[in-house]
Amino acid sequence: MAQEHISRKPRDKDSSDQAQESVTKSSDKAALDSEVDDLLDDIDSVLEENAEEFVASFVQKGGE
């Protein structure tokens, strides 16, 4: 049964965790800043165009 393959536990260490540890262990400001700069470059490439118009047109009705 396929369901048996669903681990009921989180993965203790996957590669992304390990990569991240090196970042979070040092709260060194310079290291964080340079990681953020990389992230921003990545985000720039996917951010919706015409942010002002896009955000203004995001109007929701209530729910719940």
Partner 1 sequence: MTVRRVMGIETEYGISVPGREDVSATVASAHVVTAYSRQMPGANRQRVRWEFGDESPLRDARGFDMSRADADPSQLTDEDFGYANAVLPNGARLYVDHAHPEYSSPEVTNPLDAVLYDAAGEEIMRRSLAELQADPQTPTIRLYKNNSDSKGASYGTHENYLMSRATPFQAIAAALIPFFVCRPVITGSGRIGIGRAGELPGFQISSRADYFEEEIGLETTMRRPIINTRDEPHADANEYRRLHVIVGDANMSQTATYLKLGFTSLVLHAVEAGVDFGDLALVEPVIQMHEVSYDTELTRTMLLRDGRKLTAIDLLEIYLERATKSVLEHDEQTDDVIERVGQILGQLRADKWTLASELDWVAKLRILEGYRKRDGLDWNAPALAMVDLQYSDIDSHRGLANKLMAKGSLKTLFGQDQIDLAVDEPPIDTRAWFRGKCVTRFPSEVAAASWDAVVFDTPGNEALQRISTLDPFKGTRAHVASLFDRAGTADEFLALLEQS
Binding site for partner 1 (CB under 8 A): 1-3, 5-11, 14-17, 19-20, 23-24, 27, 32-33, 35-37, 39-40, 42-43, 46-48, 51-52, 54-64
Residue 25 vs residues 20, 21, 45: alpha-carbon distances, Å: 8, 6, 28
Who contacts 6 (Cβ-Cβ below 8 Å, separation ≥6)?
Answer: none
Minimum distance from CB of 46 to partner 1 (Å)?
Answer: 5
Q: Which long-range contacts (CB under 8 A, 24 or more apart) does 13-18 make?
A: none
Minimum distance from CB of 64 to partner 1 (Å)?
Answer: 4
Minimum distance from CB of 28 to partner 1 (Å)?
Answer: 10
